[in-house]
Amino acid sequence: MAWDFETEPEFQMQLDWMDKFVREEVEPLDLVLGDPYDVTNRKMVEITRPLMERVKERGLWACHLGPDLGGQGFGQLKLALMNEILGRSRFAPRIFGCQAPDSGNAEILAHYGSAAQQQRYLKPLLEGDIVSCYSMTEPHAGADPTMFRTRAVRDGDEWVIDGEKWFSSNAKHASFLIVMAVTNTEVSPYQGMSMFIVPRAVKGVNIVRNVGLIGDRMGEGHHAWIRYEGVRVPADHMLGKEGSAFVIAQTRLGGGRIHHAMRTVATIRKAFDMMCRRALSRETQGERLAEKQMVQEAIADSWIEIEQFRLLVLRTAWRIDRMKDYRRVRKDIAAVKVAMPKVLHDVCYRSMHLHGALGVSNELPLAGMWMSAAALGIADGPTEVHKVTVARQVLRDYEPYEGVFPPEHIPTRREALRSRFAELIEHEAGAF
């Protein structure tokens, strides 16, 4: 029987190096640099490039990809332990070559891209020279991709794309977008959609506006509302086979959801650490906050919730490594997705509350961390959809019973056992 909660000493050394490196060299960048995705910012590139090289020398660059693409081919369990560190900083995923959505797009190109596509788009993406965008959801469709209307029509050696996409993250910085479009209206949406690589500079890729999250200034967000108006791309820019978009999307989204959770563990721990230090440092009414029972309750509840969530994430990562098939771990991934925003919300709120007026100010990161829980409850599918997935997957392991009473009905069980053990019961009764 193999069951272990320890990390191999060699990999633990790498994690220890990462922890120190991120804390001392990367986290400070969050305070002095702007957008990690703005590769046109020469100062940002000059500062981050040497750090990327140190990561590569350490053998920790783009570890989610195989050695043929410059990574280590780490399984999800190792990636989870790494992301628990990287999630502390906005810049850390970029410094380590695993920032979303580029990491997921790189996986798509690695699995489904042709040699020419990989040379033109994947190679510079992995080098950190460019960033990309995943353009899937649409303004009217919400969480239902079967309602997508963006069309791609074949015209000779080209595909012509028309439609609208919503919340296409980092489109304003992207060199290319991966776009999901309907290519066949005569079949089910699950067989009638395809994926395309669309260079950002192509005529007809029009950003209506960039939408921000809570607290962002109008027009300064990262999530683009895009109109594709007569966008022409060569036929060889289709990813995989025609009609395979749903299969490709699940390959990407399954990994993306668990990676979001891995990084969220780090965010929650950061809020929790701030809560504990505050409780030990602040006094009111003659005693430290740490000595107040309601504060102790908040700390205890938070620690328990964090550990439960982290173990669920690690177990799911372990199951992905064992199964080698995201479809067989749908229930686990969905459960992680459901748990993530609630734990983040609750722990951040307690920490924010404990810091008083400072906690809700823009001089601490807590308010932003707390508000991000709402975004995580929607990204990659809303919580409700994933709860339905969990319930359906769980119910597959059960069978209905016949008759009026359930199998655990005590009078019915007693009657059945009375006939089964009749001789023994009579013998025991006769002994008295």
Tell me the average confidence (pLDDT) per consecutive run of 10 residues in the chain, 432 residues long: 82 97 97 92 94 95 86 91 94 93 90 94 92 94 88 97 95 96 95 97 96 79 94 97 92 75 94 98 95 97 98 94 88 95 97 96 93 89 93 95 94 85 64 48
Kindly tell me the sign of the dihedral angle through the C-alpha atoms of 127, 131, 132, 137.
positive
CB atoms within 10 A of CB 256: 21
Confirm if 228 and 161 have CB atoms less than 8 A apart: yes
Q: Which two tokens stand for residue 66?
A: 């195989």
State the pLDDT at residue 142.
75
| Rounded Cα gap, residues 75 and 385, in angstroms | 27
Question: If you ran DSSP here, which 8-state letter would residue 155 be given?
Answer: E
State the pLDDT at residue 426.
64
Q: What backbone phi and psi angles, to 5 degrees, belong to 193?
A: -115, 150
Q: List the end-to-end C-alpha distance of the chain, in Å, as a whole number.
A: 48
State the pLDDT at residue 430.
52
Q: Give residues with Cβ within 8 angstroms of 135, minimum separation 6.
A: 165, 168, 171, 177, 178, 179, 180, 198, 226
Q: Give residues with Cβ within 8 angstroms of 402, minimum separation 6.
A: none
Is the link from the previous residue into 67 a cis peptide, with omega within 30 of 0?
no
The closest alpha carbon to 102, from 252, 210, 220, 239, belongs to 252
| Rounded Cα gap, residues 308 and 3, in angstroms | 18
| Rounded Cα gap, residues 114 and 107, in angstroms | 13
Q: Is 313 exposed, middle or buried (0-12, 13-18, 19+ CB in 10 A)?
A: buried
